[in-house]
A and B are shown apart, each in its own frame.
Chain A
Amino acid sequence: MRRGLLGTGHWALARRKRRVLLFWPAPSAQYPAALFRSVVWLLAAAALLLSATTRAATYSLIVSGLGGEPEYEKRFVEQADKLAVAARQLTGSETGTIVLSGAKADRESVRRALRDIAAKAGTDDQVIVTLIGHGSFDGDLYRLNLPGPDLTAAELAALFDAIPARQQLIVNATSASGAVIEQWQRDRRIVITATKGGGEKTATRFAEYWSVALTTLEADTNKDDVITVTEAYDYATRKVAESFKAEALLATEHARIAGAEPARFQVARLGTAARVTTDPAVNAMYAERVRIEREFDGVRERKAALDADNYYDELEGVLVKLALLQRQIDAAQPPAGVQP
């Protein structure tokens, strides 16, 4: 059965089924919280109205490149497998997720997979490409190391550009990946690289923590069971920094992110967010929850203007409403089957 998005979902949704489109975004440093939330709620409301007509799907390609050594080979494949679990949860199907690792991750297979996605994905769909492994940069050309011939940054850029989906996330977790960020950046495409430039050539740790972020609730700071790009990126970069710090080593990688609205882009749905319902009563409750969430944001936006006691009194009132409603939603829905 294809999974839908209920509860705290993103507005890019499964293609074949009409969905209620909800989301709980987190503000990012790029967007002032208040402005961002206003836009988000407008979009949420629009999403609700448009849910009857919108058809959207998520496609995910995970490439685990050449390891070079057995230790890296094993590590990359394990990371790809973990990410595949999260991707299948998100795309809702086996066919929406393509995993290429080991000998299968050759140049032609990657090209074919990206062309296949380009052929299937519509403009309203969402595409996530994750590249794991080694990359190299000679000062001019970035190459994704694959069994057989490599793929260059320009070749990959052309393949990505051929994908019509407007919502794209490219995660290049390879060494030297920072060399591609400007080249790959497009409107409505988020690009994440594990390194700040092509000069950081040491094997990276980013993919390890990115995969944890997408498969556990550790990155879920707002506890809505949905992992956004912002949450996953913040988690992974923090963990990478901590790992170097714990070993008292100078960090050899500094991740970068470019692109708009990463807090609105879902990369994993876990726990209750992975549940599916077509029950109109439950959907109505979710719609009510969106309304309360807007009220909650309204209080938070007034924080600076209120004295502390009044602020927390008002906040408490809204939070109680939200908690009572959540209790009703949970009573109406069985516990989620998936709880990584």
Chain B
Amino acid sequence: MRKNQSNRIERIERKEGETRYSFLCALCVVCGYSGVLLLGLAGSATAQSIDYDPRRPDELRACDEDYYRGRDSVARECYTLLINGPYSAVTRAEAAWRNGDLQRANRFFREAVRSNQRLIHARVRWARLYLSTHQYADAQKLLREALELSPNDTYGRLALAQVYADRFEGQARTLLNELLQEDDALFEAHLLAARMALEDGRLDDADKALDRAAKRADSKFPPLELYSARATLDLARGRDSAAMLKNSWVNRALNYNPQYGAVFESLARFEVMRRRYGEATPLLRKAVEVQPSLWSAHADLGANLLRLGDIDAARQHLQLAYEGDPYSPTTVNTLRLLDRVDEIQTSSTQLTLPATAGTPASEVELRLRLHKKEAAALHPYVMEVARDSIVTFSQRYGYRPTRPLTVELYPEHDDFAVRVAALPGIGLLGVTFGDLVVMDSPSGRATGDFHWGTTLWHEMAHVFTLSMTDNRVPRWLSEGVSVFEEWRTGPTPGVVITPDVLVAMREQRLLPVADLDSGFIRPQYPNQVQVSYAQAGLICLFIEQRWGFAQLPALVRQFERETTTRAAVESTLKISAEEFDRGFQAFLQQRYGNVLARFDEWRRSSQSAGKAIMAEQWQEAIEPARAAIAIYPEDIGPASPYPLLARAMDKTGRRDEAIDALLRFRAMGGWDPAALRELSQWLEQANRTSEASEVLAAVNYADPLNAAQHRTLGEQLLAAGRPEESLREFQVLLALDSHDPAMAHFGMARALRTQGDAVASRRHLLEALETAPHYKPAQALLLQMIEERTE
């Protein structure tokens, strides 16, 4: 049986107890929104890259030659001789690593460092071993040790730049620039610069970096990684991925090494990074065809097929990857998740998209994959949000999905993380892979932690922007549309800008539109990803307000073909990117000028309202809370002054004003379940039952697993003569497997009775009494039913 692995580190024999995380975690733990990320790079251990360090022991070079030429058995034999021969621990470690025995390599490196605490090269290479298995914390620790011993060690710093680059940290570029300024002949540094430029979409820069690398190529080293990067650049420049099979750079690589599957693996990873999962699959198939022992490619192929919903084929490749590399945490974790696939309940519904002018009605299949233990409770709400989003976005963006769309919710956050990145510990809420949306279930997080309905709405918007453009839409625009649609059409409408975004505006840290992607991909400051989400949303809002909403889908459609943000903006809005940025700044000034000018005053007011509430000085809280709201009405986050004002008003006997404060909170997009439940209660007490029900129903899209809420709402809706909706609430109450099933059955009996379904009503009434024979209201209804029957 496979054991869970949070990281391969545990199997390679780890000594330190440091926090482990994938690059996704590092990238997104600060991210308050959900979104598409650069997924798929954290795969199984990658094939060892070429070691360009001149300190590489000479005795390895002969074996390396065979290895780089694809003469695997010869190379293996050669390395085996080194492992068993009278060589240094570093040599034996390198040889074991080449032979795929990572644990042994790890032991040899440890032995080397133990025997000489001042070894630098061994530490750098040991760090590279960890880097190849995505064990960034350990890699970084070893590099830190190496650089303490020798601060200027070129290859140590280069490895550190690689760590930063793999984790999409902004420091990568700075460190790399320093290295290249010191020594422009560093071939590997140019290769890394090219890779980063490719990931950032700076294709001309990538081209130049590769030219520089080519000029500095040393015949001692194989050109395979240069060819591979060249091929990736061709792909990025719009070459069809199918055509890449015959690409000249690919051919050169294969001529050098006919078993160099890594060239296809690199291309596939680039496609995955661009969310072109369908295109990645044939490339990965080719990779494993060319090099059947490329276990990382098998693992990537499995993961990619899983994204595309082909579970059986995915399992097959993951199993192969596991057999070849049983210590890969990503493979093991994914297989473990697949082992529990029968815990998932899949439902399928044909949705009809209504006809619009010139377009007839059409149908699309929506598949929901929910965990069995909560499927019945969540299904009605998930279906409603997904269906409404599809209908809404189809109309607004003029695009009708044709392929089946799938939504998966995971009650265990680590299962979701494994599904997304094959490693636990990512800080995401939801991810979209083309037609597949994967996200945390509301039960996967603390109550009030996230609004699952909004998250699903956001992800469904990605489905549209990605599908409309065959995944070409830039990250910022896809996120911008999703955030904008949260504000405009989502379950909690209202433009929500958090204080840290205002701080970024005040400090002029927003990026030009043409460079906004870098705020997502390689953030330069801790909350830049979150700020970039908000900026992207505001850009869409700006387009809507300045040019009209129709220009937003038009801008998205620019990316139906390969283009740049700059060109798309110019073509759609008829202004340059620079003019757009100036207009956007003016828009921000107009919209947020007041709050930016009075930001400190807002902060003081907000804090003093909070302090007064903490001290239960209710009267003293009122004025500062009001002042804070007046300055910054969009502050509906965790420390929002609206609930503070409401509490203060209620405690001073002004319930009506308390209700008003929470109604305004909700109107601005506030959704805190505790606050809204209290609002609903107050409204009911004020005989505003219809509003009370509406507010409570809205809480279902934030916290749908609260039995008391469904019971109250079921009763309210029944009393309001809305039996159909009431029935749904009681059905969910029953599905929640609450302590009191009799209550749920009794509610259903009454709702069904009101709907005129006497047979089903009787059955549920009897089921209620079967559980609780002394349940007096149910007894009364039973007697009434019998009397009516005999009349």
Enumerate chain A interface residues (CB-CB to B < 8 A): 8, 24, 218-219, 221-225, 234-235, 238, 245-249, 293, 296, 300, 312, 315-316, 319-320, 322-324, 326-327, 330
The reply to whether A221 and B773 contact each other, CB–CB distance below 8 Å, is no
* From B443, B774, B775, contact of A245 by CB (8 A): B443
Name A296's closest neighbour in chain B (CB-CB): B773
Interface centre among A218, A235, A245 (most CB of B within 10 A): A245
- A316-B766, A319-B769 known; A221 vs B739 contact (CB < 8 Å): yes
Residues of A within 8 A of B780 (CB): 323
- A38 to chain B minimum Cβ distance, whole angstroms, is 17
Given contacts A245-B443, A246-B446, A312-B766, whether A322 and B742 have CB atoms under 8 Å apart is: no
- Complex contacts, A238 vs chain B, CB 8 Å: 739
Closest to A292 in B: B773
**How far apart sit A222 and B776, CA to CA, in the bound complex (Å)?**
11
Q: Are B775's CB and A223's CB within 8 A?
A: yes
Nearest-CB distance from A220 to chain B (Å)?
Answer: 8
Given A248-B413, A319-B773, 14 more A-B residue pairs with CB atoms under 8 Å apart are A221-B771, A221-B772, A222-B742, A223-B773, A224-B772, A224-B774, A238-B739, A248-B445, A319-B779, A319-B782, A320-B786, A322-B774, A323-B783, A326-B776
Chain A residues lying within 8 Å of B616, measured Cβ to Cβ, are none
Interface centre among B413, B740, B771 (most CB of A within 10 A): B740
The 8 A-B pairs at the shortest CB distance, nearest first, are namely: A323-B779, A248-B446, A223-B772, A223-B775, A246-B447, A224-B774, A222-B772, A247-B446
CB distance from A269 to the nearest CB of B (A): 13
Say yes or no: is B326 at the interface (Cβ < 8 Å to chain A).
no
B449 contacts A by Cβ under 8 Å: yes
- The 8 Å CB contact of A234, one of B739, B772, B773, B774, is B739
Tell me the minimal C-beta distance from A72 to chain B in angstroms.
20
Q: Collect the chain A residues with CB atoms within 8 Å of residue B413's CB.
A: 248
User: For the complex, what is the distance from the CA of A160 to the CA of B356, rounded to whole Å?
Assistant: 78
Find chain B residues with CB under 8 A from A247 CB: 446-447
The residue among B739, B763, B774, B780 with the most chain A CB atoms within 10 A of its own CB is B774
Residues in B whose Cβ lies below 8 Å from that of A323: 779-780, 782-783
- A223 x B739 contact (CB < 8 A): no
Q: What residues of B have a CB within 8 angstroms of the CB of A320 in the complex?
A: 782-783, 786
Question: Chain A: which residue is nearest B440 at the CB level?
Answer: A248
13 cross-chain CB contacts under 8 A: A24-B774, A221-B742, A221-B772, A222-B742, A222-B775, A223-B775, A225-B774, A245-B443, A247-B446, A247-B447, A249-B446, A316-B762, A324-B783
User: B444 on the interface (CB 8 Å rule)?
Assistant: yes
Q: Which of A225, A293, A330 contacts B773 (CB 8 A)?
A: A293
B770 CB–A CB distance under 8 Å: yes
- The interface residues of chain A lying within 8 Å CB-to-CB of B778 are 223
Most buried by A among B445, B742, B776: B776
Instruction: Write the nearest CB–CB distance from B458 to chain A, whole angstroms.
Output: 20
Return the CB mask of B432-468 against A: 1 if under 8 Å, else 0: 0000000000011111010000000000000000000
Q: How far is the CA of A315 from the CA of B445 in the complex (A)?
A: 42
Nearest residue, chain A, Cβ from B786: A320
A249 and B446 CA atoms in complex are apart in Å by: 8
Q: Which of A24, A224, A293, A300 contacts B770 (CB 8 A)?
A: A300
- A221 neighbours in B (Cβ, 8 Å): 739-742, 771-772
Bound complex: CA of A223 vs CA of B773, how far in Å?
7
List residues of chain A with CB within 8 A of the CB of B739: 218-219, 221, 234-235, 238
Cα-based distance from A218 to B738 in the complex (angstroms): 11
Contact residues of B: prevailing secondary structure: helix
A222 and B773 contact, CB distance less than 8 A: yes
CB of B753 to closest CB in A, whole Å = 15
Complex CA gap A219/B786 in Å reads 30
Take A222-B772, A319-B769 as given contacts and tell me if A248 and B763 are in contact as well, using a CB distance cutoff of 8 Å. Answer: no
Residues of chain A within 8 A (CB-CB) of B742 are 221-223
A51 to nearest B CB, angstroms? Answer: 21
B445 touches A223 (CB 8 A): no
Cβ contact of B782, chosen from A246, A248, A300, A316, cutoff 8 A: A316
A219, B741: Cα distance in complex, Å: 11
Q: What's the Cα separation between A128 and B675 when bound, in Å?
A: 39
With a CB–CB cut-off of 8 A, which chain A residues contact B769?
Answer: 315, 319
Q: Are B763 and A312 in contact (CB under 8 A)?
A: yes
| Min distance, Cβ B736 to any Cβ of chain A, angstroms | 10
> Is the pair A326, B786 in contact by a Cβ cutoff of 8 Å?
no
Pair A322/B773 contact, Cβ less than 8 Å: yes
Give the residue among A221, A247, A300 with the most B Cβ atoms within 10 A: A221
* Distance, CA A24 to CA B773, complexed state (A): 10
**Which residues of the other chain, B, contact A248 by a CB distance below 8 angstroms?**
413, 444-446, 449
Complex Cα gap A163–B576 (Å): 90
Residue of A nearest to B779 (CB): A323
**Contact for B771 among A218, A222, A249, A327, CB less than 8 A:** A222
Contacts of A326 in B (CB 8 A): 774, 776, 779
List residues of B (744-791) whose CB comes within 8 Å of A's CBs.
762-763, 766, 769-776, 778-780, 782-783, 786
Closest approach, in angstroms, between the C-beta of B424 and any C-beta of chain A? 14
Q: Which residue of chain B has its CB nearest to the CB of A330?
A: B776
Distance (whole angstroms) from the CB of B579 to the closest CB of chain A: 46
B545 to chain A, nearest CB (A): 38
Contacts of A219 in B (CB 8 A): 739
Q: Which of B445, B740, B779 is A322 in contact with, Cβ under 8 Å?
A: B779
Residues on A with C-beta less than 8 A from B786 are 320
Q: How far is the CA of A118 from the CA of B687 in the complex (A)?
A: 55
Chain B nearest Cβ from A75, distance in angstroms? 19
Q: Which residues of B contact A224 (CB under 8 A)?
A: 772, 774
* Assembly CA distance A293 to B773 (angstroms): 8
Least CB separation from A24: chain B residue: B774
> Inside 8 A of B774's CB, which chain A residues have their CB?
8, 24, 222-225, 322, 326
Distance A319 CA – B775 CA, assembled complex (angstroms): 11
B638 CB to closest chain A CB (Å) equals: 15
B443, closest chain A residue (CB):
A245
Complex: how many Å from CA A183 to CA B82? Answer: 62
Taken together as a complex, chains A and B put the C-alpha atoms of A248 and B766 apart, in Å, by 37
Q: Report the minimum CB–CB distance from B448 to chain A (whole Å).
A: 9
Nearest B-chain residue to A234, judged by Cβ: B739
Contact residues of B between 444 and 497, Cβ < 8 Å to A? 444-447, 449
* Least CB distance, B707 to chain A, in whole angstroms: 9
The answer for the CA separation of A294 and B768 in the assembled complex, in Å, is: 18
Closest chain A residue, CB of each to CB of B772:
A223
A223 x B776 contact (CB < 8 A): yes
**Min C-beta distance of A69 to chain B, whole Å:** 18
B542 to A: closest C-beta gap in Å: 36
* Chain B residues closer than 8 Å to A315, beta-carbon distance: 766, 769-770
Chain A residue nearest to B448 (CB atoms) is: A246
**B706: nearest chain-A partner, CB-CB:** A246
CA distance A24 to B447 in the complex (A): 37
Q: Which chain B residues border A234 with CB–CB below 8 Å?
A: 739
State how many angstroms separate the Cβ of A219 from the closest Cβ of chain B.
7
Chain A residues contacting B771 (CB-CB under 8 Å) are 221-222
Nearest to A273 among chain B residues (CB) is B774
**Which residue of chain A is the closest to B775 with respect to CB atoms?**
A223
Tell me the bound Cα distance from A324 to B773 in angstroms: 12
Most B CB within 10 A of own CB, among A8, A225, A323, A326: A323
When distances are taken between beta carbons in the complex, the residues of chain B under 8 Å from A235 are: 739
> Min CB distance, B466 to chain A, in Å?
30
A124 and B739 alpha carbons, distance in the complex (Å):
32
B674 to chain A, nearest CB (A): 11
> Shortest CB–CB separation between residue A251 and chain B, in angstroms?
13
Closest approach, in angstroms, between the C-beta of A135 and any C-beta of chain B? 27
Q: Point out which of B444, B762, B771, B775 has the most chain A C-beta atoms below 10 A from its C-beta.
A: B775
- Residues from chain B with a CB closer than 8 A to the CB of A223 are 742, 772-776, 778
Give the residue among A224, A235, A296, A326 with the most B Cβ atoms within 10 A.
A326
Cα(A274)–Cα(B464), bound, Å = 62
- In the complex formed, the residue of B with least CB distance to A247 is B446
B783 lies within 8 A of A327 (CB): yes
CA distance in complex: A253, B446 (Å):
18
